[in-house]
Structure 1
């Protein structure tokens, strides 16, 4: 006999089957993704959260690069430096490249410029007036990189391109002051219900997914950097796996810690690292351009790029090259990655109920800001007029906390908040913050700052049609500009890359040349190609002071000609490349400026006895150790030129001064 339970189970089975059939029918009716949908999602789409995150890293990178330049700021850019403005203007190094820095000559002017550049980078970091700061950063970076081409390398070109291509992206739509201010203006909350409504958090006209032509352009640009770098590595040292060995012994480039450790690197590690470099450079373009397994392919490319360039950056002084490409790599973070990050970082035990006094403008404003920063939705808001303090928090167990402890709980619920919240729980810091919160409540700081409780809750209406049309027109112009710059980049690559120009003669029309070369958006990708650097060398100046001492004015020490036993010269990238370029015959026109810089050595030291009377400039080089050896060999010395300072000679002591070239070797 069929029981009631049996009949119930049968009915459930029938319901389940019916639901399954309905689901299957819905799946059959679901639209199939078109080729455009696939291409759009794979190549044309950025997540605005990714752009905001990249902007933050870009800001830190630019600030770090500015401080990297600081130690040689006036040495490179001032009229008292190695290449004064008038020399640069009358004997231009490039084909008419533009540099705003040419307008600043004196040390005082340049330090004012330095402060303006730093302020611009900080504004870009926090996302205030983001688009303006992106454009200004592009101008400043290309101007600094183009001012002294004697120190330009592939890293400066990547630096320029990073600023160029990101200028076309809306990097201030997430995680920025601009986004916060726009959201506060768009939605004016008054009550707890308003604060708990997250539907107006982001601009509906700016969804997370941003579709643009710069997507495939960026993927092609990054792919080209790696593809042509690996294609040009055709030398025997790359083929037999010994290339890294020779590069590690270039003392003008390696960092001191690498110089101390390189002798202990086993042969198998050198062979492995050489093969790894080639494999990564070959695999990255495939991962970037493959529509198959897009999410995992991009993750793999991101990991390979960072492993490669963090290694480069820690091993060599390459300027901005390694770190610029690390910033580039963050543009590969996709929607799926943000979803994983949110699930991983969201912790329910950090959920809090924020109690606020709706009569307090300061407390209400703090809640409005917290709502916009609470991307995990862990904060709920509740009005409370009975509490002693205008702002407090209730924990899941019902415990009520106030002051710095409450603020720490609220911040800990935000993305990356725990990294900051712990400081508020320190006794000294917490006590000071609690006292400051109490004082601001007593004195009505919110009202004093112009904060007001709105008369009513309101949400801004949608923008007028004319404004929407204007935005679309600007977007169309932006996409056209992307196409124009991409055409210039492709043409520049065709006339610059060895594998192309050695086979075909590609025309270089003047308008397109200007697009690429005016601000140094070059495309020559052949680092350590076709073979790595097999020799090492540096500039050594043997100068004689008025009191007969031998000194190298670039180091402040006696000239050292012993390269065979060198363990990293400890140069920055700036001086490393300057020495390597000034020795070339094609740059001999800039040696008079170098002499004047050396004559001003006592101005930099503040010691009149350091005045230089005469000297000789040498290029000293040796050959990197053979495979299986750690000892350099074949030291050579080439005298580039001599110099005599008539002003210092007139002040020299009576008697014949010491002759250059007699320093201890």
Structure 2
């Protein structure tokens, strides 16, 4: 029996060094995400932007959600919260009071995601879940400031309910993505990638190279579908674990790099690459340890030196509120075992809930999770949906023209820095978006269910235009969408002009 149990646990044993690398990767992504979001503090997170708090509470708020960013509609308050989040991400990167900063980083990430759901994408769900499960993982045990205050671990391998949750979560991402792709274009016709690359609003240069080759796109469509469906199974094979893990990591690394070259997906591919770092086997980590870790440790020492003057204040604050961190709290062995059992029990329960939530998105009605049970998912944001290009690829494509009519009757396109309006298709539709957050917002802007948000965007654009010196005054702004519906076999499409919103000063 013991041999069977040992065999079953093999796929879920992780290297502490790989978990530390996962922590650093997640922290780096957090910093990148904060930096990108910070360029739109007023537009996306203030009452002067595209989603004032009143509109959010009226149309897009769940009663179980929470958000510190909703405490004020001022962009200055948002800036303070962003600075705090960036500081916590740096602390997570170097492993300073790791468990505490993981929890606080997760709270602020949930908070900012809840503030504006109109700019969220699938990668945000995964980043949130990596932080959530990371709280239960010892990803600050090595390669961290905290580890210098502890004896070296007796072994570099680690197994717990949290390692099971981390691996199962990764598998759920790809299994659910594949199972939700129920359209024949994925599993029978092989045209899904053709339709994806027909969307000019996400088409990257690599996609332009692939687009003229239908046979290759058909093969890649089937390869993507069956890889997402079948490859996660290798994570649960209890023999030759190193080989299967490396296979999964290499294939997924190539897959997401390929996505980044063909489709404009923002941080999605980076988050997915970061998510697999914890799977690296001991042989790989030993090589990295010899070549890369010494440099990272020198950087960590420099950061620790800068944080040293603040240590007494932080310790006093922790004691005042009754907090303890992993590096300084060592309960007796008996209590420690009891606490670990309680923690593992909590993780198993949360993992079962997450699996049920995912089953509810893909299975028959008999699996339906009733509404009274959904409050937990919304409260701690372990709700998730992995419907990337599912059940079929979005067919409505096009580009925006922000047609501003001046007081003299001239028509200027605010989407092209005030150039004269033209209805010719831009050479690159992707270049019209400042970042992927705006691209996602423009996608949601099209849906009839989101019609309430249209006047806010229109009036925001008017205000920004008039606040810039030298701009001609406008008497009206029309948000126009030049709609193209993708058709099969490269059939030509005639754009249709749709006025989504009109506003005046």
TM-score interval, normalised by the smaller of the two chains? 0.7 to 0.9
Measured against aligned partners, the alpha-carbon deviations of 1:160-180 in whole angstroms (never above 9, x if no partner) come to: 112211121111110001112
Q: Choose the corresponding residue for 1:211, options 135, 143, 159.
A: 159
Question: Quick one: structure 1 residues 561 and 155, their matched pair in 2 at CA, closer, same or farther if it must change by over 3 Å?
Answer: farther
Q: Partner of 1:60 in structure 2?
A: 28
How far apart, CA to CA, are the structure 2 residues paired with 1:604 and 1:154? 35
How far apart, CA to CA, are the structure 2 residues paired with 1:224 and 1:623? 32
Q: Where is the helix percentage greater, Structure 1 or Structure 2? A: 2
- Structure 1 position 293 matched with structure 2 position 240: yes
- Structure 1 position 643 matched with structure 2 position 466: no
Q: Partner of 1:73 in structure 2?
A: 41
How far apart, CA to CA, are the structure 2 residues paired with 1:83 and 1:490? 32
How far apart, CA to CA, are the structure 2 residues paired with 1:419 and 1:233? 44
- Residues 82 and 597, structure 1, Cα contact 8 Å, conserved in 2: yes
Q: Choose the corresponding residue for 1:478, options 343, 354, 363.
A: 343
Q: Residue 202 of structure 2: SS of its match in structure 1? A: coil
Q: Partner of 2:264 in structure 1?
A: 317
Cα offset, 1:641, TM superposition? 3.0
Q: Residue 394 of structure 2: SS of its match in structure 1? A: coil
Measured against aligned partners, the alpha-carbon deviations of 1:434-489 in whole angstroms (never above 9, x if no partner) come to: xxxxxxxxxxxxxxxxxxxxxxxxxxxxx999533443344234223313322331
Q: Choose the corresponding residue for 2:276, options 292, 310, 329.
A: 329
Q: Residue 132 of structure 1: SS of its match in structure 2? A: helix
Residues 35-114 of structure 1: pairs in structure 2 closer than 5 A: 35-43=4-12, 45-94=13-62, 96-114=64-82
Q: Partner of 1:148 in structure 2?
A: 116
How far apart, CA to CA, are the structure 1 residues paired with 2:82 and 2:63? 26
Question: Quick one: structure 1 residues 613 and 302, their matched pair in 2 at CA, closer, same or farther if it must change by over 3 Å?
Answer: same
Q: Partner of 1:283 in structure 2?
A: 230
How far apart, CA to CA, are the structure 2 residues paired with 1:515 and 1:321? 25
Residues 185-584 of structure 1: pairs in structure 2 closer than 5 A: 202-204=152-154, 207-238=155-186, 239-255=188-204, 257-258=205-206, 261-262=209-210, 265-339=212-286, 345=290, 415-417=293-295, 467-495=332-360, 497=361, 499-501=362-364, 503-504=365-366, 506-510=368-372, 512-558=373-419, 559-563=421-425, 568-571=430-433, 572-584=435-447
Q: Choose the corresponding residue for 2:3, options 25, 28, 34.
A: 34
Cα offset, 1:419, TM superposition? 12
How far apart, CA to CA, are the structure 1 residues paired with 2:493 and 2:32? 37
How far apart, CA to CA, are the structure 2 residues paired with 1:492 and 1:465? 36
Asked which structure has the greater RCO (Cα within 8 Å, sep 6+), the reply is 2
Cα offset, 1:555, TM superposition? 4.5
- Residues 493 and 524, structure 1, Cα contact 8 Å, conserved in 2: yes
Cα offset, 1:309, TM superposition? 1.2
- Residues 26 and 130, structure 2, Cα contact 8 Å, conserved in 1: no
Question: Quick one: structure 1 residues 272 and 92, their matched pair in 2 at CA, closer, same or farther if it must change by over 3 Å?
Answer: closer
Cα offset, 1:128, TM superposition? 0.7
Q: Choose the corresponding residue for 2:493, options 633, 636, 645.
A: 633
Question: Quick one: structure 1 residues 526 and 36, their matched pair in 2 at CA, closer, same or farther if it must change by over 3 Å?
Answer: same
Measured against aligned partners, the alpha-carbon deviations of 1:272-326 in whole angstroms (never above 9, x if no partner) come to: 3223212321232211122232221111111121111122233323233222221
Q: Choose the corresponding residue for 2:106, options 102, 115, 138.
A: 138
Q: Partner of 1:622 in structure 2?
A: 484
Question: Quick one: structure 1 residues 570 and 174, their matched pair in 2 at CA, closer, same or farther if it must change by over 3 Å?
Answer: farther
Unaligned ranges ≥5, structure 1: 1-31, 184-200, 347-413, 422-462, 646-665
Question: Quick one: structure 1 residues 56 and 560, their matched pair in 2 at CA, closer, same or farther if it must change by over 3 Å?
Answer: farther
How far apart, CA to CA, are the structure 1 residues paired with 2:399 and 2:366? 37
Q: Report the more deviating stretch, 302-311 or 269-278.
A: 269-278
Q: Partner of 2:84 in structure 1?
A: 116
Q: How many residues align?
A: 474
- Residues 252 and 538, structure 1, Cα contact 8 Å, conserved in 2: yes
Question: Quick one: structure 1 residues 643 and 560, their matched pair in 2 at CA, closer, same or farther if it must change by over 3 Å?
Answer: same
Cα offset, 1:123, TM superposition? 0.8
Question: Quick one: structure 1 residues 610 and 86, their matched pair in 2 at CA, closer, same or farther if it must change by over 3 Å?
Answer: farther
Cα offset, 1:61, TM superposition? 1.4
TM-score (norm: length of structure 2): 0.85
Cα offset, 1:519, TM superposition? 4.3
TM-score (norm: length of structure 1): 0.65
Measured against aligned partners, the alpha-carbon deviations of 1:70-105 in whole angstroms (never above 9, x if no partner) come to: 322321001211012232234434454222211242
Q: Report the more deviating stretch, 95-104 or 220-229.
A: 95-104
Question: Quick one: structure 1 residues 208 and 586, their matched pair in 2 at CA, closer, same or farther if it must change by over 3 Å?
Answer: same
Cα offset, 1:203, TM superposition? 4.5
Unaligned ranges ≥5, structure 2: 300-327
Cα offset, 1:632, TM superposition? 4.7
- Residues 225 and 525, structure 1, Cα contact 8 Å, conserved in 2: yes
- Residues 259 and 568, structure 1, Cα contact 8 Å, conserved in 2: no
How far apart, CA to CA, are the structure 2 residues paired with 1:141 and 1:82? 20
Measured against aligned partners, the alpha-carbon deviations of 1:512-561 in whole angstroms (never above 9, x if no partner) come to: 31221224322322211232233312343322234544234454334453
How far apart, CA to CA, are the structure 1 residues paired with 2:222 and 2:35? 34
- Residues 462 and 477, structure 2, Cα contact 8 Å, conserved in 1: no
How far apart, CA to CA, are the structure 1 residues paired with 2:19 and 2:449? 42
Measured against aligned partners, the alpha-carbon deviations of 1:23-53 in whole angstroms (never above 9, x if no partner) come to: xxxxxxxxx961111122222x222111111
Q: Residue 374 of structure 2: SS of its match in structure 1? A: helix
